[in-house]
A = this chain, B = another copy of it.
């Protein structure tokens, strides 16, 4: 599989995460920052290789083979991100881009040895689960901060948006994985959320609250 094919497979995987149906040509083009016509070409090729189901005008979805392949790329991506943060002291907003390249390195043995060296981490620096070597992903119960109720208390276990900009903003707010947050009040006017973080009252915008995952209890 070429680098380009792998990136398309990953894009379809991420677009399929939420809803089960087919992913539209335009949605893939947007995700890949390419054009619909390029997607059509690629879908024909990936269908030929049996990694996607594709019918004209009906979008695409991954086959079992495609899903397994996607999980392997994501496993590599997240293990490398973990390595960059834990061993090389990168911050969580710097690693995505580099992992985007490292995820395409081909050796199976490399990734198993890396996994062992890192002591078999379960989640990446953004709280996302690392698939095991068979492609199985452990789902963790989590809710968006924006949907937590008053007086609920939770631990930050992930982010929905893992762009550099958002992650650096969280750094500035003092929010990182593992922090305890208590919901004090939800403001109906602008859907902002007043929280208790490290014993201090802080107001979080609706957009921010909608991109932080909490584990409740």
**Which A residues have a C-beta under 8 Å from some C-beta of B?**
84, 87-90, 94, 97-98, 101-102, 105-107, 109-110, 113-114, 117
Known: A90-B113, A113-B89. Contact between A105 and B107, CB under 8 A? no
Please give the distance in Å from A101's CB to the nearest CB on chain B: 5
Residues of B within 8 A of A110 (CB): 84, 88, 98
Residues of B within 8 A of A97 (CB): 107
Residues of B within 8 A of A101 (CB): 105-107
Q: Are A98 and B88 in contact (CB under 8 A)?
A: no
Please give the distance in Å from A80's CB to the nearest CB on chain B: 10
Q: In the assembly, what is the distance between CA of A117 and CA of B88, in Å?
A: 6
Please give the distance in Å from A7's CB to the nearest CB on chain B: 15
Beyond the given pairs A101-B106, A101-B107, 17 more chain A to chain B contacts, judged by CB atoms under 8 angstroms and listed by A's residue number, are A84-B110, A87-B117, A88-B110, A88-B113, A88-B114, A88-B117, A89-B113, A90-B109, A90-B113, A94-B109, A97-B107, A98-B105, A98-B107, A98-B110, A101-B105, A102-B102, A102-B105
